[in-house]
């Protein structure tokens, strides 16, 4: 057999008989290639490259593998032939159930990507979930009851999602629930735990109970300790069987031991299971578990959703009275909306529009806001107030008119039902909360709000859309519970923070308010809060893992609340985060497909948002021209929907221009930015932040065109405008300083560039999390500046910080971990601390083994480093072995990378010194030193 084909797919059907270890074979080939230069093909299952074994059991072996086509890591279950005892029947059944599960997409279910068979073999490709099983999660440390219930509710959501599409797990247990590194639970092995999945269906003559049941149990699907009574009897299983197994697992987690097995209870004719006594377990939970563990399926909870409702509702009812004070505290200045949140009475709802806004929008309030705007001392404050007042006047009129029309249509003309009247009135009340929250915020004389006043007013929900929204809600049988007013005020306040780029404030407000929102029981409001939290974490703070956790929770709560209007947004935001923060376009496309399937059918804004995110995916796929086409389409949709000058249009035009720049159509990008800048200056003035943001992009365009002086002019003016509005410690100001630092470096002013970028880092430190992508990029640039300036201790400190950031989140792609490891080791040696560099060079060598560098010469870096370490430790024999390998690599490719000639010279001399230290081969020592001098002289002559 051809050795390169030995472990590819055609041989896998013999895996069970031959007991081949694919992980061991893969490791052997990698080490062989690294140490001896031999060439071996990777170990393959289809198109998937085997990396390691994740686990094995009676059904087969699960491997971690790399999908060469989609560039992602996956888990592959290779089914053992001897587990398919009925041959074609078992194979067909297994394929059918696996493909059914592949259609199931839910945050709490392991996603099956594909199911394949070839030459008699069968394998299943699944989502790879780094983390632990639920059992391991429980065993690692003591867990509070609240934490346990939170994990199990997620598991129950996954089971419920499967039940809704007709899938029964049949083997739920602690080992089949995975807790990912994002703390999200995913259910694995739906219907796939054993080959005899439907034996009861294919063998109807099997006895239903009796003495023979005990002996035969192990032959049928399930794990005895978790089996439901009907499974033990060999009867058909349904969703209530999974509920029983779930309750066994939850009882085991709560009481630290499982209840008596069903087989034992059946033999003893036991009724209610004897659960252990434990004062820490509340009675409501004990009763819920006892019902779920009933021997008769008809006596259990009607469904998993019903059990989830019990697990969520019982503690909430006990504490709801204690929450109001917490919510009020979270509101801050938003508590001033109290009077504005009172509902309308039937007698006053048909009052004329001007009477409806009395006390909400009048001259007294206008005067207070005018004084607040003026108090900011911004040069454009007066103009900003003039435009803001016009916008607020118009909004007040539209809101009042919508309320009047709603009443007339119901009470006077009889055109709509009381139900429609109530739904529309509730919508208008929510809009009033958003409006009055914004008015109270304007009164605080906040410069950020004054700068973005027009955008915030334009972002207010349109009251004229309330009747249409009410009609859709009535058709869908909308939520019976009205949103909580205090919750709405918190959400509106958070939207103001996100609208003014105040990410930390938004995240702090929502994070502090969420416990109270949960206890109040406004599930829809909780879903909105989590979505807003994720947008603040991801878009404003660059916190990808935090955003993903919040989005999965948001999806769960949106589904529980029946908020289909939110689910597409959650999927779309997950796609955005995957593409922009994690650089995972394949994963992003999966989320986007869900968003597209769930999007509202009559929303141009939603269509444009989906196109915008798809353009980000295309950027991650290195297809900038295609991204430009989608951004142009999104802009066209918005132009047909929003009036000219709307902030959403401005943002879409900026995004399109930026895309043109990324596609290297710099002249077009510059023309787009110039046109937009002229419009904004004419409407808002040259010193308005909106115009300054366009100036920043224009400066980047001309910088790329090589027109450095023009770029500096734009950037310096934009910096002055933004600093005057937001102060020096602001992310936008920091980003400008980084670009100006690049211009300084182009002008050979290293000291000025270094000081500028140090200031940018200080600005980021004050405003964004430590691991924010822009801050990480700034650290890398500052590290290079310190290298150029010979400031090795400072560069070493930054390299250490970059490595810490990467290690805290290894999935991120904005840290060149190989370069950082090489820098740390090199700096330590240059500072006379070479022995400390050993773990860094060791790690770099292991990394190169897994991911060979594109430039082969870079393989010499860790080898030379190991040689220096051993030389410094007084072990020249070991040093010689590594330095010989490094020199051989460098001499084969001496000019592949800038600086390699210098490294070659240094390695020659270091090898000569090591040989001399052991008094070996003096002729070789002389030859190495002579060659080093010759290479150095040639390099010097070339430099002249």
For 122-156, the DSSP string reads: EEEEEE---EEEHHHHHHHS---HHHHHHHHHHHH
Q: Flag whether 173 is marked binding.
A: no
Q: Give the length of the chain.
A: 944
Across 83-87, 374-378, 837-841, least confident range? 83-87
Note the helical H segments in 276-360: 283-292, 304-319, 324-331, 353-356
**pLDDT value of position 483:** 62
Angle (CA) 237 241 242, round 5°: 120
In whole angstroms, give the CA distance from residue 109 to residue 860: 44
> Of 87-96, 559-568, 716-725, 809-818, which one has max mean pLDDT?
716-725
Task: Give span(s): CATH 1.25.40.10, the chain.
Answer: 824-944
Task: Give span(s): CATH 3.30.200.20, the chain.
Answer: 9-127
> Taking 80 as the threshold, does the pLDDT of residue 447 lie above it?
yes
**pLDDT value of position 82:** 58
Residue 273's alpha-carbon distances to 101, 201, 240, 248, in angstroms, are 33, 29, 17, 11
> Quick check: helix, strand or coil at residue 708?
helix
Residue whose structure tokens are 């030379």: 864
Confidence of residue 54 (pLDDT cuts 50, 70, 90): confident
**pLDDT value of position 81:** 63
Q: Are 187 and 304 contacting, i.e. CB atoms less than 8 angstroms apart?
A: no
Across 95-104, 195-204, 664-673, 811-820, least confident range? 195-204
Q: For 131-204+219-319, which CATH superfamily applies?
A: Transferase(Phosphotransferase) domain 1 (1.10.510.10)
Tell me the average pLDDT across 593-615: 91
3-state SS of the chain: helix, strand, coil percent to 5?
70, 5, 25
Tokens of 246: 């779930």
Judge residue 746's burial from the number of C-beta atoms within 10 Å of its C-beta, 0-12 exposed, 13-18 middle, 19 or more buried.
Answer: middle
Q: For 824-944, which CATH superfamily applies?
A: Tetratricopeptide repeat domain (1.25.40.10)
What phi-psi label fits residue 501: left (phi over 0), alpha (psi between -120 and 50 degrees) or beta? left
In whole angstroms, give the CA distance from residue 417 to residue 409: 9
**pLDDT value of position 196:** 33
Across 233-247, 266-280, 877-891, least confident range? 266-280
- String of DSSP letters for 460-515: S--GGGHHHHHHHHHHHT--SSPPPHHHHHHHHHHHHHHHTT-HHHHHHHHHHHHH
Beta bridge partners of 125: 76, 114
Which residue has better confidence, 406 or 716? 716
Residues 6+ away with beta carbon under 8 Å from 334: 437, 440, 441, 489, 490, 492, 493
> Taking 50 as the threshold, does the pLDDT of residue 213 lie above it?
no
In whole angstroms, give the CA distance from residue 813 to residue 666: 26
What kind and span of H or E run contains 636? helix 624-639
Across 156-170, 184-198, 247-261, 725-739, least confident range? 184-198
Which residue has better confidence, 14 or 706? 706
| Cα–Cα nearest to 206, from 228, 242, 231, 172 | 231
Which residue has better confidence, 99 or 632? 632
Residue 263's alpha-carbon distances to 215, 255, 322, 653, in angstroms, are 11, 20, 44, 68
Q: Let me know how many helices (H) and strands (E) the chain has, helices first.
A: 42, 9
What percent of the chain has a predicted confidence (pLDDT) above 90?
43
Q: Is the pTM of this model over 0.75?
A: no
> Taking 50 as the threshold, does the pLDDT of residue 859 lie above it?
yes
Task: Give span(s): CATH 1.10.510.10, the chain.
Answer: 131-204+219-319
Across 166-175, 380-389, 821-830, 887-896, least confident range? 887-896
Tell me the average pLDDT across 432-441: 90
**pLDDT value of position 10:** 32
Tell me the average pLDDT across 100-105: 74
In whole angstroms, give the CA distance from residue 202 to residue 196: 9
Tokens of 905: 């010279």
Order of strands, sheet of 185-187, starting from the edge strand that comes earlier in the sequence: 131-133, 177-180, 185-187
In whole angstroms, give the CA distance from residue 728 to residue 763: 7
β-strand pairing of 185-187 with 72-79: unpaired
Half-sphere exposure of 295 (CA within 13 A, CB side): 17
Q: Are 841 and 858 contacting, i.e. CB atoms less than 8 angstroms apart?
A: no
Sign of CA dihedral 806, 810, 816, 822: positive
Q: Are 222 and 263 contacting, i.e. CB atoms less than 8 angstroms apart?
A: no
* Dihedral (Cα; 201, 207, 210, 216), 10-degree rounding: -70
Q: Are 228 and 244 contacting, i.e. CB atoms less than 8 angstroms apart?
A: yes
Q: Which CATH number fits domain 9-127: 3.90.700.10, 3.30.200.20, 3.40.50.300, 3.40.50.740?
A: 3.30.200.20
> Of 274-278, 329-333, 347-351, 363-367, which one has max mean pLDDT?
363-367
CA distance from start to end of the chain: 58
| Cα–Cα nearest to 914, from 859, 861, 874 | 874
Backbone φ and ψ for 466, nearest 5 degrees, come out as -65, -40
Across 133-142, 262-271, 587-596, 756-765, least confident range? 262-271
- String of DSSP letters for 72-97: EEEEEEEEPGGG-TTTHHHHHHHHHH
Which residue has better confidence, 942 or 638? 638
């Amino acid at each position: 057999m051809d050795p390169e084909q030995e472990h590819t797919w055609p041989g896998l059907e013999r895996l069970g008989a031959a007991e081949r270890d694919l992980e061991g074979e893969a490791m052997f080939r990698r080490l062989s290639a690294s140490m001896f230069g031999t060439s071996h093909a990777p170990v393959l299952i289809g198109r998937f490259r085997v990396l390691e074994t994740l686990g094995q059991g009676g059904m087969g072996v699960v491997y971690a593998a790399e999908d060469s086509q989609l560039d992602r890591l996956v888990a592959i279950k290779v089914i053992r032939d001897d587990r398919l005892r009925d041959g074609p029947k078992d194979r067909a059944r297994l394929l059918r159930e696996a493909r059914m599960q592949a259609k199931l997409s839910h945050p709490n279910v392991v996603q099956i990507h594909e199911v394949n068979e070839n030459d008699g073999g069968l394998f299943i490709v699944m989502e790879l979930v780094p983390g632990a099983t639920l059992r391991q999660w429980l065993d690692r440390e003591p867990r509070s009851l609240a934490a346990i219930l939170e994990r199990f509710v997620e598991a129950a959501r996954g089971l419920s999602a499967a039940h809704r599409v007709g899938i029964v797990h049949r083997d739920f247990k602690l080992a089949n629930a995975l807790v990912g590194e994002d703390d999200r639970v995913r259910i694995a092995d739906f219907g796939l735990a054993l080959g005899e999945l439907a034996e009861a269906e294919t063998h109807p003559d099997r006895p239903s109970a009796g003495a023979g049941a005990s002996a035969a149990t192990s032959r049928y699907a399930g794990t005895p300790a978790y089996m439901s009574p009907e499974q033990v009897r060999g009867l058909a299983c349904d969703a209530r069987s999974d509920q029983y197994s779930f309750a066994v697992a939850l009882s085991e987690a709560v009481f630290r031991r499982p209840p008596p097995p069903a087989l034992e209870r059946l033999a003893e004719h036991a009724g209610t299971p004897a659960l252990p006594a434990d004062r820490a377990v509340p009675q409501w939970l004990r009763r819920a578990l006892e019902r779920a563990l009933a021997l008769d399926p008809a006596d259990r909870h009607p469904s998993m959703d019903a059990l989830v409702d019990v697990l969520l509702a019982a503690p909430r009812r006990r504490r709801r009275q204690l929450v109001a004070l917490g919510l009020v505290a979270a509101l801050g200045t938003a508590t001033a909306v109290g009077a504005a949140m009172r509902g309308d009475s039937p007698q006053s709802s048909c009052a004329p529009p001007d009477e409806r806004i009395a006390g909400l929008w009048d001259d007294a309030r206008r005067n207070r806001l005018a004084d607040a705007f003026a108090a900011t001392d911004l040069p454009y404050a007066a103009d900003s107030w003039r435009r803001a007042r016009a916008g607020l006047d118009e909004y007040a009129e539209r809101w009042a008119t919508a309320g009047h029309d709603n009443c007339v249509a119901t009470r006077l003309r009889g055109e709509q039902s009381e139900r429609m009247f109530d739904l529309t009135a509730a919508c208008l009340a929510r809009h009033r909360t958003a409006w009055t929250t914004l008015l109270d915020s304007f009164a605080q004389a906040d410069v950020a709000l004054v700068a973005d006043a027009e955008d915030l007013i334009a972002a207010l929900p349109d009251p004229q859309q309330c009747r249409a929204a009410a009609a859709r809600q009535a058709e869908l049988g909308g939520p019976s519970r009205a949103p909580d007013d205090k919750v709405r005020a918190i959400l509106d306040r958070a939207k103001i923070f996100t609208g003014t780029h105040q990410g930390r404030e938004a995240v702090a407000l929502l994070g502090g308010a969420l416990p109270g929102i949960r206890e109040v029981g406004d599930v829809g409001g909780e879903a909105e809060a989590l979505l807003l939290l994720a947008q603040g974490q991801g878009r404003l703070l660059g916190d990808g893992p935090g955003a993903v956790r919040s989005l999965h929770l948001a999806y769960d709560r949106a589904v529980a609340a029946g908020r289909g209007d939110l689910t597409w947004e959650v999927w779309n935001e997950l796609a955005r985060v995957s593409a922009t923060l994690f650089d995972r376009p394949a994963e992003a496309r999966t989320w986007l497909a869900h968003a597209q399937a769930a999007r509202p059918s009559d929303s141009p804004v939603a269509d444009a948002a989906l196109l915008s995110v798809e353009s980000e995916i295309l950027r991650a796929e290195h297809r900038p021209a295609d991204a430009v086409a989608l951004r142009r389409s999104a802009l066209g949709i918005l132009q047909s929907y929003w009036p000219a000058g709307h902030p959403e249009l401005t943002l879409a035009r900026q995004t399109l221009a930026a895309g043109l720049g990324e596609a290297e159509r710099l002249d077009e990008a510059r023309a787009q930015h110039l046109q937009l800048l002229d419009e904004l200056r004419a409407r808002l003035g040259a010193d308005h932040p909106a115009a300054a943001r366009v100036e920043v992009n224009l400066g980047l365009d001309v910088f790329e065109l090589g027109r450095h002086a023009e770029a500096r002019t734009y950037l310096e003016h934009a910096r002055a405008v933004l600093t005057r509005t937001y102060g020096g410690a602001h992310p936008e100001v920091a980003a400008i300083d980084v670009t100006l630092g690049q211009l300084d470096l182009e002008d050979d002013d290293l000291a000025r560039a270094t000081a500028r970028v140090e200031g940018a880092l200080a600005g980021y430190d004050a405003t964004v999390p430590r691991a924010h992508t822009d801050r990480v990029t700034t650290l890398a640039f500052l590290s290079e500046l310190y290298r150029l300036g010979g400031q090795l201790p400072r560069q070493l400190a930054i390299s250490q910080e970059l490595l810490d950031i990467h290690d805290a989140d290894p999935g991120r792609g904005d840290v060149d971990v190989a370069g950082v490891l090489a820098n740390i080791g090199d700096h330590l040696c240059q500072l006379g601390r070479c022995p400390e560099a050993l773990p860094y060079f060791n790690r770099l060598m292991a990394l190169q083994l897994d991911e060979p560098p594109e430039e082969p010469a870079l393989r010499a870096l860790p080898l030379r480093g190991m040689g220096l370490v051993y030389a410094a430790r007084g072990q020249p024999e070991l040093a010689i072995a590594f330095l010989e390998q490094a020199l051989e690599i460098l001499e084969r490719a001496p000019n592949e990378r800038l600086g390699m000639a210098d490294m070659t010279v240094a390695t020659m001399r270091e090898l000569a010194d090591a040989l001399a230290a052991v008094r070996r081969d003096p002729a070789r020592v002389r030859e190495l030193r002579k060659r080093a001098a010759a290479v150095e002289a040639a390099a010097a002559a070339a430099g002249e």
